[in-house]
Structure 1
C-alpha cells in the first residue's frame, strides 16, 4: 500500500464543484461509515452542513485534519486538535482507519498517522499527545484510573504502545432509548420531589444574560470537577468571548443547544447544569455536559436535570428518539445516574497519553 497523507482542503459549501468539494463529500461518507462502525448505526450522524461546520476554524482550538490516500481511495483520517486558550502544551488526536483494509494495512496506516500527529505536535512545540482509540470495559491493558481497558494489539493502539503511551482513561459511550422509558414523567416528578430546595431554569440556544456569569463559572468547574485521571488538561478560564464562541460552535450547521440548570431557591445560585445538542436531522440527540458542583451534591440534581432534558426533548423534537452520552468509566456517580435514567453502554473509547522526555 502506497500511503499519501495530506491536509484536507475545505470547500466553501458542501455542494461545491471541484477537487475540494469532491474530497469533502468522500470525507463525509467516510466519517458516517466510521461513526456507524464505532458507535452503532444512527448514533452519531452529521448532515453535510453539520459536518462542514464542525471542521471550521475556531477561536478556542486549531483543527488539523489529515487524509490518508492509497491512490484515489481514502483509507484513513487523523484529526488533531490543539487548544489555544489553555492546555497549550497538548495536542489531542483521533485516528479513523478504513475497515476495508487488512489488519496488516491498518497497522501500517496507524503507524503513519500517529507519526504525523507527533510531527504536528513537535512543529507546534507541544510535548504532550493525547490519542483516542477504541477501548473496552476490560482489556489486556487497564487504564491508570483503574477503570476500563484496551487491547494493546488493536491497530489503533499498537503504535501508541510502541511509543510508550500510557492508557490513562476510558470513556463509556451509552445510549438511552426514550421508547424504553414509558414512566419518564413519573420519574421526573419523583426526582423533583427529592430536591425541594431547588428549582429548574431552562433555555434553548445561547445562555440568557442573567445566567451568563454563573454559567461561565460552571464551565470552569467542569474542567476541574469532572474526572480526567492523569491526563494533562489544565483548569480552564471562561470569559464572555469564550462562552459566546462555545455556543456559536456547538450550534453551527443548524444544531440546537438545550440547557437546564438547577437553582438553589434560598440563594439563587446555580448548583449544576445539563446540556443536550440537538442535530439538524436524524434520530439521536447528544448529551453534552452535566455537572453538579460539590456544594450542591447529594440532592439528586444530576438525575433531575437529565430527566428534565429527556422530557423536554420528547416534547420539542419527538423525532429524536434516543440520546447518546460519553462518561469517564471511573465517574461512577454519573454512570449510576445514567444507568438509573435508562442509559446502556454501546461502546468504549480509550484515552492514551504520551509525554516527551525533558
Structure 2
C-alpha cells in the first residue's frame, strides 16, 4: 500500500482530547522511539509539553510537521523548518523512521518523505534544501569539509545521494556525565586562574538588562563564526525583540535556560557566553558557545563550560548528563569538550541540494 503523508494539526494542549490530541500524542511517541534508537535512551528525550512547544513558530523560524502512515500504521514523520528573517531560500528537511522498520522500508520512506519535503519547501518559495542522515567519524563518502563521512548504501543516505545531495558537514554528538567529574571544582579553579582579567556571571532564564546588548552582539558573532561548511546561513541581525522572542521560545514547554557569560574585568563588557537548556529529561542540552574574536586564546570557552557544569550541579542535581553538538571540523571546540570529559555518542550528516527549477 502506498505511503499516506498528512499534515500534523497541532492541538492547543498536548493532552487535548479528540483527533488533534490523539494525532499529536502518536507523533510524540514516535519521536521518542526514533530518537532513543538513534541517540540512545534519554539523550534527546522531551516531554509532550516540550515537543508541542518546539513545533510552534517563532519570530525567526517556522516548522511544518507531517506524519506518514502505511497500511494504517505510523511509520515515520517529516518536519520542514524554514528561516523567516535571514536565509529565506533555505528549507531544512528532517525525517524520522520507526525503529523496527526493515532497511528496505526505511530507504523507501526516506525517498518518499524527501520528495514530499522538497515539494512543501518549493511551495514556500524555497530552493536551498538541507537534509540529514546518520554519519560517522569517517566513511566512503567524505564530507566536503574533509571531516567525517557516511556509508553511501545506508538507507538514510542512499536516497540523498541518488537525488544529488552533497554531504557538506558532519556533526559529532557527545556527552559528559557529571558523576565522572569529581574534580570539577579543581578544574574550574584552574580555568579561572588561567584567565586573569576576566570573570564569569551566571543566570537562569532571561538575559539581565545590563547584558542584553552584549548578548545580541555575541549572538550575531555566533551566527557568523559557527563552522558551516557549504551550508552557511546569511548573517543574522539581533535586537532586543529578537532576543526576547528566542528566550521565550527556548523556555516554552517548561524548560529553563542556564547561561554563563565571560566578562572583561576592565570594561565590564560581555565577551563570551555558553547556554544550556534544562528540561524534564535528566540529560541537559548544551547549546551555543562563543567567545568574541579579540578575547580568544585565554581559555574562556573552557572556563564558561566548566562554570556552567558547576551551575547545573548546584541548581539541577538530578540532571546528571550534558549533551552537545559540534561540527567535526571545529577542532578547537572539540578539544575543549574532550578535555572537559565529553565522549562521542553518535554522528549526524548535514546535506545540501539546490533546486534546479
**What's the TM-score, normalizing by structure 1?**
0.98
Judge conservation of contact 1:90–1:232 (CA < 8 Å) in 2: no
Task: Give the secondary structure class of the aligned counterpart of 1:233.
Answer: coil
Matches within 5 A, 1:121-136: 121-136=121-136
- Spell out, residue by residue over 1:304-327, the C-alpha distance to the aligned partner (whole angstroms, 9 max, x if none): 000000011000010000000000
Deviation at 1:258, TM superposition (A): 0.6
Deviation string, structure 1 residues 204-256 (Cα, Å, up to 9, x no partner): 10011111111001000001111111114111111121111110111001100
Residue equivalent to 1:287: 286
Bigger shift: residues 8-17 or 345-354: 8-17
SS at match of 1:353: strand
Residue in structure 2 matched with residue 15 of structure 1 by the alignment: 15
Query: SS at 1:63's partner residue?
Result: strand
CA distance in structure 2 between the partners assigned to 1:269 and 1:354 by the alignment: 41
Task: Deviation per CA, 1:266-317: give whole Å up to 9, x if none.
Answer: 12222110001010x2211110110112111100000000000001100001
1:332, distance to aligned residue in structure 2 (A): 0.3
Q: What are the within-5 Å matches in structure 2 for residues 229-248 of structure 1?
A: 229-248=229-248
Name stretches of at least 5 consecutive residues in structure 2 with no aligned partner. none
Q: Residue 180 of structure 1 aligns with which residue?
A: 180
State how far apart, in whole Å, the 2-side matches of 1:353 and 1:243 are. Answer: 28
Alpha-carbon distance in structure 2 between the residues aligned to 1:15 and 1:264: 47
Where does residue 209 of structure 1 map in the other structure?
209
- Listed as ranges, the gaps of 5+ residues in structure 1 are none
1:10 alignment partner, SS class: coil
Distance 2:353 2:23 in 1: 31
The Cα of 1:59 is off from its aligned counterpart by: 2.0
Q: Please state whether the residue corresponding to 1:348 is helix, strand or coil.
A: strand
For 1:152 and 1:90, locate their aligned partners in 2 and report how far apart those are by CA, in whole Å: 24
Alpha-carbon RMSD: 1.0
User: Partners in 2 of 1:125 and 1:29 — Cα distance?
Assistant: 31
Any residues of structure 2 matched to 1:80-119 within 5 Å, and which? 80-119=80-119
Where 1:5 maps in the other structure, the secondary structure is strand
Asked whether the 8 Å contact 1:171–1:326 carries over to 2, the reply is yes
Range moving further from structure 2, 251-260 or 66-75: 66-75
> How many equivalent pairs are there?
357
The aligned residue for residue 352 of structure 2 is 353
TM normalised by structure 2 equals: 0.98
Q: Is the 8 A contact 1:87 1:232 kept in 2?
A: no
Q: Is the 8 A contact 2:33 2:99 kept in 1?
A: no
Runs (4 or more) in structure 1 with deviation over 3 Å come to none
1:329 is matched with which residue? 328
Q: Which residue of 2 aligns with 1:266?
A: 266
In the TM superposition, residue 155 of structure 1 has moved relative to its aligned partner by 1.6
User: 2 CA distance for matches of 1:58 and 1:295?
Assistant: 32
